[in-house]
Structure 1
């Protein structure tokens, strides 16, 4: 129990770690660097889902629970996307008043963090327990760090103080602690849910990778740099899986 709480907390608080950077830099960063960060985290998540979550779900429950869980993850993210207005952090122009726009982006990021927390929680409930859980917590944490930075950067560009932007961005990740513990308890005490939960997490991550991270990392003419960064991120995570 201590391990799952620590893992979900560290993963969630990585959002704040990324946002912390905003306290020490100006209110802007080049598109190339943002695209590189997004692509790198996409590679991290791709390796974690295809080499961690999917094989684990397949070995525990077989193909049918895997397929059902993946589609449930994709469907859940699709519903969230359709009902929560998505604001592209990379390419939007100013023009919407702060109160409306800021609340939309905060709500969207917070709700999109729920499946990520579930991913960590159900991973700790698998047969490999700590190994898979730590792997997914690390992957989600790496994804959360640049996300936290981009949210804080957005708020600073909306004339919010850097400290307030850091606090708000950090709080958007806190929901992952609650959803992570919920995912752990559900799958830990209802054993047959474990392969579905792992596959759900994989489906949610794959949706985020293909629908959000890759398109956003290719939106400013840095496709080649982003592609290299994606591959490096994937290989980095494969190395960690192999070592640990």
Structure 2
């Protein structure tokens, strides 16, 4: 019980890093180039998380049955989200598109934070140092996620206070996932949740990519490259950290 409580505390602190990223972007000049770079950065981070972490780990816990269940559930929910009247922002049509994009990013980040939180709980349950290492890796990659979440919302003329609140809410889901990972440990459900999160991120990454290209292809590609490099460095740090424990 003590380790689970500690895992939830670390998970909550990890979630705060999304809020930090959202706040940081509030102090940047929001123009087309900065927005294209921020969105490209989020695409690079999401693609690396999807293909470098979520999918490989999901197949360690499950098989193609769980994969198809996770993809089906994610597809159904995303279709429903896509049909909802998001972005009713007064002003230019572009503002509505940015607000809608911000909602998509919020949904993607919040949904994938549940299985990521579960991994923190499982990590602490397996080995305390492993849980701490997973938390640290998530802290670092949650900051650019928060920045990519805040940029389109600011472009939609949302207040900085609202941007910070949304960043905080998206990270607040992590402790719930940690609690589930610690008390409702089931390899099959973890596999489904990870594929669910991966499918969500691929869908949103495509939406984000299309909009970032319209703003500035050059800055979008630079952002994607920076996001991939950043996650690769984090992966190396995390990989060596885990091997140093054995």
TM-score (normalizing by structure 2): 0.73
**Per-residue displacement from partner, 1:102-128 (whole Å, max 9, x unpaired)?**
998987776555314324323324467
Q: Residue in 2 aligned with 1:15?
A: 19
CA distance in 2 between counterparts of 1:239 and 1:232 reads 11
Q: Residue in 2 aligned with 1:225?
A: 219
Choose from 3, 6, 12 the match for 2:10: 6
- 1:145 paired to 2:139: no
Alpha-carbon distance, 1:61 to partner: 1.2
Q: Which runs of 5+ in 2 are unaligned?
A: 239-246
CA distance in 2 between counterparts of 1:21 and 1:66 reads 35
The range that moved more, 124-133 or 34-43, is 124-133
Q: Residue in 2 aligned with 1:200?
A: 196
Which runs of structure 2 are paired with 1:1-244 in the superposition (5 Å)?
Answer: 1=4, 2-22=6-26, 24=27, 29-86=30-87, 92-93=93-94, 113-126=109-122, 130=131, 131-132=133-134, 134-155=136-157, 165-188=159-182, 189-191=184-186, 192-211=188-207, 213-220=208-215, 222-244=216-238
Equivalent residue of 1:218, what SS?
A: helix
Equivalent residue of 1:29, what SS?
A: coil
TM-score (normalizing by structure 1): 0.74
Equivalent residue of 2:235, what SS?
A: helix
CA distance in 2 between counterparts of 1:103 and 1:231 reads 25
CA distance in 1 between counterparts of 2:43 and 2:194 reads 18
Change in 2 beyond 3 A, CA 1:182/1:77: farther
**Per-residue displacement from partner, 1:151-174 (whole Å, max 9, x unpaired)?**
245336xxxxxxxx2222111123
CA distance in 1 between counterparts of 2:12 and 2:45 reads 17
* 8 A Cα contact 1:48 1:136, kept in partner: no
Equivalent residue of 2:156, what SS?
A: helix
Alpha-carbon distance, 1:243 to partner: 2.4
* 8 A Cα contact 1:66 1:196, kept in partner: yes
Equivalent residue of 1:155, what SS?
A: coil
Change in 2 beyond 3 A, CA 1:10/1:149: farther
Change in 2 beyond 3 A, CA 1:37/1:198: same
**Per-residue displacement from partner, 1:35-62 (whole Å, max 9, x unpaired)?**
0111012101111111111111111212
Alpha-carbon distance, 1:218 to partner: 0.7
Count of matched residue pairs: 224
Equivalent residue of 2:93, what SS?
A: coil
